[in-house]
Each structure stands twice: as C-alpha cells, then as structure tokens.
Amino acid sequence: MTTVLAGCLGGDDDGLTIGHLAPMNNVLGVGSDRTAQMAVEEINDNGGFNGEEATLETRDTRTEPSEAQSVTEELIQQEDVDVLVGTFNSETTQSILDLTSEFDVPFMITGSADPGLITDYVGDDYEEYKNVFRVGPINSNFQAESIADYCAYLSDRHGWDEVAFLRDNAAWTEPFGEHIPDLLDERGLSIVHEDALSIEIDDFSSVLSDVNDSDADFVLRFFAHIDAGEMLGQWAEAEYEFGIEGVSVPSMLPVYNAGAEGAATYETTSQSGAAGVSPITDRTQPFVQDYADRYQDEEDYPTRAPMYMGFNTYDGISVFKEVVDEIETTNTRDNLDDFVAAMLGIDFTGVAGQVTFYGEDSDYPHDVQEEREDGTITNYPMTQWTGIEEIECVYPEKHRTAEHQMPRWMQ
C-alpha cells in the first residue's frame, strides 16, 4: 500500500520520505496507517518537517518476518526513507533491526513491546543499533509491574486473590511468564493455574474448564495473537464465577463488544491512550475525536478510534518532527549522531502520554520511559467494557473514569 500525501516544498532535493510498517491485514495496522496519515497531513499543513513536506509510504509486513525484511529493504533502497515507524509483533520487528542499522535509518518502534528488542540490540551494541528507539507502549517488563499493581487493586476492591495466568505462546509474553508469578506473590496474590496457549487455538472449552476447576477469582491473560471471542461467549453464557482481566489486543477494537454481542462486557484490557476515554494528556481526546471525524464512514475498521499502535505511531511521527526541527535537517541518515542526541533530549506531550527516552547507560537505552506517580506506573491504563459500545478507564486512579465492575452474575 502506498499513500502519497504531498510533494517536496524545499530542503533536500530528494524530499522527505517517512516509511510506515504494519500488518495491513490486521485492523491494528489499518488504524496505525490512518494515524500516520493524520500526523503527516497535519504537520505538512502547519509548516512541515523543518520546513519540508513529507511523503508517507506504508508497506504491509503481514506479521511475517520474511515479508517485513523484503518491504523494509524496498523502503530503504528504493524509496530512500529518512525514518521508519511502526511494526507490530516482536518477531517481525527483530527481523529488520540489522537492515535499519546497516543503512543508518532511524527506526521508531510503535507496536512491539518485547524489551529484548532494546536490551539485546541497543543495549548490547550501542554504536551498531543507536538508530533504534521504541516510542511505545512501555516494554513488557514495566507492563508486568503495572499489571501486578492492577491485580492488587482488584484484590483490594473485590477480594480477588487467586489468579489463572494465561498467555500467548509468543515472544512478547515471555517477560510476563518470567516476572508475573513473583510480582503477584509480592502483592499477596496466588497463581492457581498457568498455561501458555498456542496462538492457533480455536477451542477454549478445556481452557475454561481448567480455570473453573482451579477456583481462580479471575483470569489474567495476555493475548495479542489469540482472538478469544469464542472464549468470552462461553464465559458469559455459562456465567463462570471468575473475571477476565489483563491484555487482549483484539478487544481494543472499538466495535469488539458489539461483534461479540455483548459477551465482552466486564472484560478488561490495557491499551495506550485508554482508547481515548480518559484525558491522558490534553491532546488525547481531541486526537480521538479527529480520528472519528475522518474515518467514521469508512467501511474498514477501526473507525471510531485507532487501536494502541495508532496512538504510538502518531506520537512517533510527531516526535520526529520535533527532532528534525531541532537539528535543522531532515537528512537524518547522514546526521545520525545529531538525531540521536536530539531524541535523547526530547520531552514531548503526546496523545498516549509523555514521551521521553532512556539514555545509553540505562538498562533500556532508547526505550520510552514509564511514567510514575508515587512509585506507581501510570502510562499503561486499563479499560473495561461496560456496555455494547461503552468503555471506561478503571486504572490507574490518575486516569480513572469509573471503578472496576465485577461481572453482573458475581455481584
């Protein structure tokens, strides 16, 4: 897919080209592409990137590492991109890190959360991979800490102390498998059932049966590849005596609960920007309203709001604008050290939160920093379906629009 938004007004003779990588067969990728278009159009209309208009080139990675390598090479060698933004699953992102570093192309990751994408590359060989930054969401290690604190909130509110821990059998959930048991134990909660599910699973009968037999108070699940709509349907119909909490990327789709005929009501997920239902920053809700105004009549979802990657992609392109204005050139590949220095000095109010990056000597160099208030991470908000189309932000307290609700049949 190619989206040409504007020609060159000035600056480098070759023009400024922004490459966007996403799975375009996935609604999450569609939402990310739309927010990339929004960011480029808005910035072009308001003076451009260091006075230069940008052309946006989107390529479909299909969540396949081999396809991601092919389209990334095309963007770098044929389109001569000045920056790359995007990528969803961690396996795809990892497959193109060497390509981006070989050609000194700044790469802003906006969908993948595996901390190994930073620690095993920028962390282990800073000079080789200093072109790589992760804009959001916060990495899986910080997500695990934030989720554990959320579970403590559920314990305080409902007395839920026993947990069934489920996750995709995929790279992005490995930090959860490593850290969640100890983090919950430190907060007085117990894991009574645990499983890493095949991402090809389509029959959840035995999964629900195992959870029910464990007497868990709630399922803490981490699903990005698994669409557990069938699981939700069986859960709501049988009125199982446990809640469903954690992270579900499919559930971030604004029409997900309508598609599930209300079965997702009371389900929660964490997502960057809290789906726009809470004023995370002053820019969050105007951004979501603008998105809805632009795309509400489109046939392809998501139409009311982008999913989490869209928030981060919009912020990534906005940060890129701030940085090239500061270094007074869009020729980032020939001025990579200046670009990196400006990125490390950025303190940008985005639509998903404040964007600042860890420095070279940190545990997570060039990774987006978590925000904290009284020691609690605040930029990983949890949302809950409260009706067919209604969503509330239930955690953290700073961004809360409603208290978490126990399923109706458990109240």
pLDDT in tens, 197-249: 999 998 999 999 999 999 999 999 999 889 888 999 999 999 999 999 999 99
Q: What residues have CB less than 8 Å from 141, skipping those under 6 apart?
A: 115, 175, 179
> Residue 1: what pLDDT?
44
* pLDDT tens digits along 342-371: 999 999 999 999 999 999 999 999 999 999
The pLDDT-based confidence of 8 (bands split at 50, 70, 90) is very low
> Residue 14: what pLDDT?
64
The pLDDT-based confidence of 2 (bands split at 50, 70, 90) is very low
Q: How many angstroms separate the Cα of 184 from the Cα of each of 165, 188, 214?
A: 11, 6, 17
* pLDDT tens digits along 18-44: 999 999 999 999 999 999 999 999 999
Angle, vertex CA 135, rays to CA 299 and CA 223, nearest 5: 60
> Residue 398: what pLDDT?
95
* pLDDT average, residue stretch 6-15: 47
Verify cis geometry, omega within 30 degrees of 0, for the bond prior to 396. yes
- C-alpha 392/C-alpha 403 separation (Å) is 8
Collapsing DSSP to helix, strand or coil, 375 comes out as: coil
Q: What residues have CB less than 8 Å from 182, skipping those under 6 apart?
A: none
Contact assessment for residue 291 and residue 34, using Cβ atoms and an 8 Å cutoff: yes
Residue 3 predicted with pLDDT over 50: no
- Exposure string over 363-381, b if 16+ CB within 10 A, otherwise e: ebbbbbbbbeeeebbbbbb
The pLDDT-based confidence of 6 (bands split at 50, 70, 90) is very low
* pLDDT tens digits along 43-86: 999 999 999 999 999 999 998 999 999 999 999 999 999 999 99
- C-alpha 286/C-alpha 35 separation (Å) is 13
> Residue 7: what pLDDT?
38
Q: What residues have CB less than 8 Å from 341, skipping those under 6 apart?
A: none
Contact assessment for residue 317 and residue 85, using Cβ atoms and an 8 Å cutoff: yes
> Residue 227: what pLDDT?
86
| Tokens linked to 183 | 């983090």
> Residue 287: what pLDDT?
98
For residue 327, how many C-alpha atoms fall within 13 Å in the half-sphere facing its CB?
Answer: 23
- C-alpha 360/C-alpha 366 separation (Å) is 7
Strands 16-22 and 54-60: parallel
Collapsing DSSP to helix, strand or coil, 107 comes out as: strand
Which range has the worst mean pLDDT, 12-16, 72-76, 322-326?
Answer: 12-16
Distance of CA 255 to the CA centre of its chain: 18
Burial of 77 (0-12, 13-18, 19+ CB in 10 A): exposed
> Residue 225: what pLDDT?
87
Residue 181 predicted with pLDDT over 60: yes
Q: What is the DSSP letter of 391?
A: E
Contact assessment for residue 68 and residue 46, using Cβ atoms and an 8 Å cutoff: no
